[in-house]
Structure 1
Amino acid sequence: MLQTLRSKILFYLLLISMIGILIVSFFIQYGFEESFNSYLDRNREKKIDRVINEIEKDFRQNGHFTRDPVFAMLHEYAMGDQLYFQLYDRYGQIQMDSSNIRSMLNSLGLTEPEPSGEEWHSKNYTLKVDNTMIGKLVAIYPEGLIDDEYTFIQTIQLYIYAAVCLTVVLAIVFSMLFSKKLTSGLKKLSFAADELQQHNLNIRIPLKGLPTEVKQLAISFNNLAESLAKEEMLRKQFTGDLAHELRTPLATLRSQIEAFQDGVWEPTQQRLQASHEELMRLVRLVNELEKLLAAENPQMKLEKIELDAGSVLAALWEMFMPIFKEKGVQLHIEEPEQEEIFEADKDRLMQILSNVLNNALKYTPEGKNVTISVSTDRDGYVGFRIQDEGSGMAEEDIPHIFERFYRGDKSRDRKTGGAGIGLSVVKALMDTHKGMIKVKSRLGKGTTMTLWFPRED
């Protein structure tokens, strides 16, 4: 049993289908019953409110309880909805009682006898007129469904059971047909998978003659083979790519240490702490870069805290001012007029902004400017806008700049253009923060990149 591939596919398709059908039918039935019961409860409360309003209105007009028209309403609800009432005055004396109508109807054989063990609920309501208590109303009703309500639920359940049976039959028929068509092209897939396992990255599956169901799988396999071939080529460049990604924190640390050595900065506790944080960020970057490059959408645990955008700009100024000054590029910081709070992982945030700033510095010639400002144009987000007066990018390159290892100008080597990892890391980290990136660029005019971070997680 279950020796052939088709029988296994058929078995598991049926198993999954049956489990899905049972789960869906259960939740449909359960959800409908809950919604229907909630509807009945709300409808009952409306009727009770109507009785209360009518009693208070009648008392306000007459100064005492009268039977007309209140008792007619109580009689209507008792006969049609099994909703009974007992009206007491402020002294506890009963004035009206519709609960005895059911026993009267039972004695005359006009209603079904009460099921054994049937439970009844009662709820008390205080009656007031002009903030003065005039009496108490007790509503009495049976637990669960009654008469037509029960019949309605049974009808719905019957339709659900019929739909489940029909779905089961259809699942069996279509599973048999699907398993037959699926296995017709799996031999080609199996052969190609074996070749791929033997590192034959040039293997491709011919699409002609494949069933529609298998053709898409074959296309995906071919795309996978192409991706693996590309990744094999890129793997050989990994050492250079890693060096590019490490250059940003190393350059920052170098500039800070040289500033200490040359006496430009006093080694204060705050600056030493900033250097230590940068060093620790470098250690973490080394540990996580390989994981980041291993998947298109890496999942990383973020240690989010509340940050002030102005404080972030001040930290960037401290870190990057020496290397900007060394190249002769002016770094301008436009501090926000008020405190702008948002949530982010501080290390990842600094990694993102450092990568973008490093790129801006790299492609901005001496004597030009790079400006960092805070934007609040988008509701629920705080944005960091980094604008440079560098070489810019062609419009057709903008959609691809976040792809790994992509370089718009193929003539750039690692000394000028990098290996194409930095912005892909920025994109991955922004996605992890549930942030957004907007890029505007013109060749020869410069680039503006805005990084939007949500104010709250």
Structure 2
Amino acid sequence: MTIRKQLIYSFMGSLFITTLLVFILYKLMWFDVHQTILLTLCSFVSSLMTMAIAIFFSVPTIHKIERLNDRTDQIAKGNYKVEDLNIQSPKELKELSDAFNQMTIRIDKQMNQIKAEQDEKLCMVQNLAHDLKTPLASIKSYSEGLNDGMIYTELAKQDAYQVLIRQADRLNQMFDDLTDVMSVNNKRSDTRINIDQLLMPILESYQQCLKKNKRHIEINISPNIKPFYQDKIALERIITNFIDNALKFSDTDKVVTITVFEHERNMLGISIKDEGIGIKQAHLKYIFDRTYRVDNSRNKETGGSGLGLYIASTLAKQIGGEISVDSKFEEGTTMTVYFPKN
């Protein structure tokens, strides 16, 4: 039932009760016929005036409530960009309107954020699905060549096996990146860290690759660095990402340099420098965006998913640090993570 109908029914009910009361009093002979008619007319006029005054004050409020209801209906249908109601009176309705406007702003912001995240995830999945086709096609073609005897010389077989291993490693890296994106969270686990104990296990995992490709990594550690407390797992993942990129995007005869130094009061810096192909200035501000690739053609060679630096940047923020990049195209890149000693 609408407010208008409620007002009309209340007016009719009031008039009926008043008339009934006057009629009963007439039957009880409290009033004569003329007095009864006069009282009935006075009651009718009084009720009518009361009804007119009530409608005069209530109709604007009813219109405002109808506007609020219309905006609510639009939001229910998925239109979150509704105009400001700008209701100034009565006080209760103004407070409701202000709360409604703030709610719509927050809902619109949250829906835009959800949509952006969904679009980004869809883009990430599409990119990974596209990237998976290249190593899978390579594995399939070389496997068929070995199975059909088209690759028969010992040297050709060894080359084919190496291709299969590289493409398998490439697939493994893509799945690792995807897993890291899904597992990055705000949980921290600070432990006491000695810088030597942090770097040694990381570098040990590269020993076979360095030996096989005749690569060399130089390490420079400031002598005054004392043990500190920080999230060891996060630091390992960040440093590993930097080293992976340095080895990917530099030639085998180029040196990769790791430097650990005091940055500011209660801050440390770990930088990984390569003498590789570098990054063009136009790309630098985008390299930490999820799924962003500096060069798609280069990505086909290295198998990057565009997630590594995004993961590293997210982890750096979680431990209270930040990442900076200094790069010159065709000269090399230096990636540095700065973080507090807790």
TM-score range, shorter chain: 0.5 to 0.7
Q: Gaps (5+ residues) in structure 1?
A: 1-175, 194-204, 244-281
Residue 98 of structure 2 corresponds to residue 225 of structure 1: no
Residue 121 of structure 2 corresponds to residue 235 of structure 1: no
Residue 250 of structure 2 corresponds to residue 364 of structure 1: yes
Larger relative contact order (CA 8 Å, sep ≥ 6)? 2
CA distance in 1, matches of 2:74, 2:282: 38
Residue 298 of structure 2 corresponds to residue 425 of structure 1: no
1:193-214: CA deviation from partner (whole Å, max 9, x where unpaired): 7xxxxxxxxxxx7x5x733844
Evaluate the alpha carbon distance shift between residue 185 and residue 316 of structure 1 in structure 2; reply closer, same or farther with a 3 A threshold: same
Structure 1 position 452, deviation (Å)? 1.7
- Of 202, 208, 213, which aligns to 1:322? 208
- Of 190, 201, 216, which aligns to 1:304? 190
Q: Which residue pairs with 1:150 in the alignment? A: none
Q: Which residue pairs with 1:346 in the alignment? A: 232
Structure 1 position 361, deviation (Å)? 0.5
Residue 83 of structure 2 corresponds to residue 210 of structure 1: yes
Contact 2:225 2:262 in 1 (8 A): no
Contact 1:327 1:366 in 2 (8 A): yes
1:19-63: CA deviation from partner (whole Å, max 9, x where unpaired): xxxxxxxxxxxxxxxxxxxxxxxxxxxxxxxxxxxxxxxxxxxxx
1:266-322: CA deviation from partner (whole Å, max 9, x where unpaired): xxxxxxxxxxxxxxxx9xx96x964x5359xx5343322111123323333322233
Evaluate the alpha carbon distance shift between residue 218 and residue 360 of structure 1 in structure 2; reply closer, same or farther with a 3 A threshold: same
Contact 2:178 2:307 in 1 (8 A): no
Percent of pairs with identical residues: 25
Structure 1 position 333, deviation (Å)? 1.0
1:212-249: CA deviation from partner (whole Å, max 9, x where unpaired): 84467546535643542342232244567899xxxxxx
Give the match's secondary structure for 1:428: helix
Q: Which residue pairs with 1:393 in the alignment? A: 279
Q: Gaps (5+ residues) in structure 2?
A: 1-61, 86-100, 134-171
CA distance in 2, matches of 1:183, 1:370: 65
Contact 1:390 1:447 in 2 (8 A): yes
CA distance in 1, matches of 2:113, 2:186: 27
1:410-435: CA deviation from partner (whole Å, max 9, x where unpaired): 33335425111111111122122112
Aligned-residue Cα RMSD (Å) equals 3.7
Give the match's secondary structure for 1:373: strand
CA distance in 2, matches of 1:386, 1:178: 63
Residue 222 of structure 2 corresponds to residue 332 of structure 1: no
Structure 1 position 382, deviation (Å)? 1.5
Structure 1 position 329, deviation (Å)? 3.2
Structure 1 position 350, deviation (Å)? 1.6
Q: Which residue pairs with 1:441 in the alignment? A: 327
Structure 1 position 184, deviation (Å)? 4.5
Q: How many residues align?
A: 225
Contact 1:342 1:382 in 2 (8 A): no
Evaluate the alpha carbon distance shift between residue 315 and residue 403 of structure 1 in structure 2; reply closer, same or farther with a 3 A threshold: same
Evaluate the alpha carbon distance shift between residue 216 and residue 390 of structure 1 in structure 2; reply closer, same or farther with a 3 A threshold: same
Structure 1 position 177, deviation (Å)? 12
Contact 1:329 1:364 in 2 (8 A): no
Which range moved further: 427-436 or 234-243? 234-243
